[in-house]
Chain A
Amino acid sequence: SQQGEEDPQALSIQEGENATMNCSYKTSINNLQWYRQNSGRGLVHLILIRSNEREKHSGRLRVTLDTSKKSSSLLITASRAADTASYFCASDGETSGSRLTFGEGTQLTVNP
């Protein structure tokens, strides 16, 4: 079963709006990461949040982690057409020996 599951599967917004994607996981984790994938390309690391952190920022990205609910969210503020991509969460569950388990991703479309 998937360690990480993203919600929604697809999201379409207008430029300038904020985009929020959610991720849930099943087992205790050491850290959780978010990646981005443009069509036809490999994944690119965005941000890592450790299990003892609750919130982290990087530019227009804000990630939160709620270990009691086993969930995380990625917020992209003031979205741009160039943000159009698939976004994946990846967690290293304690039962997977720190290896990453990826969710199925959220496809974000930002319309100009």
Chain B
Amino acid sequence: DAGITQSPRHKVTETGTPVTLRCHQTENHRYMYWYRQDPGHGLRLIHYSYGVKDTDKGEVSDGYSVSRSKTEDFLLTLESATSSQTSVYFCAISRKLDQPQHFGDGTRLSIL
């Protein structure tokens, strides 16, 4: 398995609190992605990164921000969590944009 670690794996928090999810890779892949998975919607891209400090928005970026200060780490932040952001969040990596992606095992986030 590709070396991808997501933390935490589970989190329960309250509406209005800030939340940061971390994705760490040991593969030195250039591209990193954050997706959310919800019933009836499949996986939807939130943000992705194409290098250190280089990020771009995905399909559902509102309410989320990201940062990548090192090749191996990609952080997803919910500045003020809302119940609609309850979801399972997946990080993925790839060497190139059109290459297969390797996924972490996800973070289950519940916002009450």
Q: Please list the residues of chain A having a beta carbon within 8 angstroms of any beta carbon in chain B.
A: 2, 4, 30-31, 33, 40-45, 48, 88, 90, 92, 97-105
Minimum C-beta distance from B39 to chain A (A) = 9
Q: A88-B43, A102-B43 are in contact. List 11 more A-B contacts (CB 8 A).
A: A41-B106, A42-B104, A42-B105, A43-B101, A48-B100, A92-B97, A92-B98, A97-B97, A98-B98, A99-B97, A102-B42
A100 in contact with B103 (CB, 8 Å): no
A105 in contact with B42 (CB, 8 Å): yes
Sampled A-B contacts (20; CB under 8 Å): A2-B42, A30-B98, A41-B105, A41-B106, A42-B4, A42-B104, A43-B43, A43-B90, A43-B92, A44-B103, A45-B102, A48-B100, A88-B42, A92-B97, A98-B98, A99-B48, A99-B97, A102-B42, A102-B44, A104-B40
> Which of chain B's residues has its CB closest to A41's CB?
B105
B58 within 8 A of A: yes
For the A-B complex, the count of residue pairs with Cβ-Cβ distances under 8 Å equals 51
CB contacts (< 8 Å) of B58 on chain A: these are: 99
A42 to B100, CA, bound (A): 14
B70 within 8 A of A: no
CB contacts (< 8 Å) of B101 on chain A: these are: 43, 45, 100
A103 in contact with B45 (CB, 8 Å): no
Q: Please list the residues of chain B having a beta carbon within 8 angstroms of any beta carbon in chain A.
A: 4, 35, 40-45, 48, 58-59, 90, 92, 97-98, 100-106
A41 to B107, CA, bound (A): 10
CB contacts (< 8 Å) of A44 on chain B: these are: 103
Minimum C-beta distance from A87 to chain B (A) = 11
CB contacts (< 8 Å) of B59 on chain A: these are: 101
A90 to B43, CA, bound (A): 10
The 4 closest A-B pairs by CB, nearest first: A42-B103, A45-B100, A102-B43, A104-B42
A43 in contact with B42 (CB, 8 Å): no
> Which of chain B's residues has its CB closest to A105's CB?
B42
